[in-house]
């Protein structure tokens, strides 16, 4: 943050290690990841890792927070668009990545999903993921909530709808990554539109903002 360009700045090293970890994880997968693999992705020797992190476990926990921060930081929306458009914009971003593929979005997702699944064996990781997941789902849920309040969406449990959308997105990504179904995000996109959004738009009462879409 404060220092940034001179040679012997330590703060940059930690960032380098995180990115090296990402690359190593991306290439070898979590189960085969060796400290050596991370070292080979860095310009410095692998032993620096032990200077900055307290062993493999500590490194992985820090990395988990690192990649989660990145993920959440990449989600950007204005919030001023009407509910339907707003919802679709967020879903689109979750399914196809942020605007221009700034980094390798899917490489990132691959690592993310692998760590997600591994959380079932690691209580600490599970907790970190739970907090994160709550925020992600919440960000979808509040759009649904807003739509219901404005009368654009029919009256339903926004939590459940948000959870459903989040689940569909998650499953589609996992399917693309694990099974190689490259069209999974596109399919999910259409399914959300046909089943979820369509259903939400089916308002039958003429509430405060009497809005309708298909007629």
What is the Cα–Cα distance from 163 to 42, expressed in whole angstroms?
39
| Least distance between a second copy and beta carbon 192 (Å) | 9
Phi then psi for residue 31, to 5 deg, are -65, -25
59 vs 95 by CB, closer to DNA: 59
Give min distance, CB of 11 to a second copy, in A: 30
Of the candidate residues 167, 182, 206, 209, the single one contacting a second copy (CB under 8 A)? 167
Residue 168, contacted partner among a second copy, DNA, none, CB below 5-8 A by kind: a second copy
- Identify which of residues 1 and 179 has a Cβ nearer to a second copy in the complex: 179
Contacting residue, 15, 27, 40, 57, with DNA by CB under 7 A: 57
Among 27, 29, 55, 167, binds DNA (CB under 7 A): 55
Size of the site for a second copy (CB under 8 A): 44
* Token pair for 137: 């789902």
Q: Which letter does DSSP use for residue 119 in this model?
A: G
List helix spans (H) across 78-157: 83-96, 105-118, 123-149
CB–CB of 141/159 below 8 Å? yes
Positions 192 through 211 that interact with a second copy (CB under 8 A): 194-196, 198-199
Contact criterion met (CB below 8 Å) for 172 and 184: yes
* Secondary structure of residue 82 in the 3-state scheme: coil
Dihedral sign, Cα of residue 39, residue 42, residue 45, residue 51: negative
Q: Scanning residues 30 to 49, which ones bind DNA (CB under 7 A)?
A: 33-36, 43-45, 47-48
162 and 137 in contact (C-beta within 8 Å)? yes
60 Cα distance to chain centroid: 18
Nearer to DNA by Cβ, of 12 and 145: the residue is 12
Residue 152's nearest CA partner among 195, 85, 200, 199 is: 200
Interacting residue with a second copy among 119, 142, 149, 207 (CB under 8 A) = 119
Of 48 and 164, which CB lies nearer to a second copy in the complex structure? 164
The residue (of 45 and 117) whose beta carbon lies closer to DNA is: 45
Does the footprint of a second copy cover residue 191 (CB under 8 A)? yes
190 touches DNA by CB under 7 A? no
Q: Rounded to an integer, what distance in angstroms lies between the CA atom of residue 186 and that of residue 194?
A: 12
Residue 104 lies near a second copy (rule: CB under 8 A): no
């Amino acid at each position: 943050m404060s220092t940034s360009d001179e040679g012997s700045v330590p703060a940059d090293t930690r960032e380098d290690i995180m990115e090296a970890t990402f690359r190593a994880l991306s290439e070898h997968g979590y189960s085969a990841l060796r400290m050596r693999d991370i070292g080979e992705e860095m310009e410095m020797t692998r032993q620096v890792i032990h200077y900055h992190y307290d062993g493999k476990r500590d490194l992985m926990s820090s990395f988990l927070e690192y990649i989660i921060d990145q993920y959440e930081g990449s989600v950007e929306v204005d919030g001023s668009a009407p509910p339907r458009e707003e919802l679709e914009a967020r879903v689109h971003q979750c399914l196809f990545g942020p605007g221009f593929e700034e980094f390798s979005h899917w490489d990132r997702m691959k690592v993310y999903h692998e760590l997600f699944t591994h959380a079932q064996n690691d209580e600490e990781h599970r907790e970190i993921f739970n907090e994160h997941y709550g925020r992600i789902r919440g960000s979808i849920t509040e759009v649904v909530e807003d739509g219901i309040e404005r009368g654009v969406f029919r009256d339903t449990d926004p939590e459940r709808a948000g959870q459903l959308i989040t689940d569909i997105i998650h499953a589609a990504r996992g399917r693309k990554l694990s099974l190689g179904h490259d069209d999974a995000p596109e399919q999910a996109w259409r399914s959300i539109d046909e089943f979820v959004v369509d259903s939400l738009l089916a308002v039958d009462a003429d509430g405060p903002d009497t809005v309708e879409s298909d007629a």
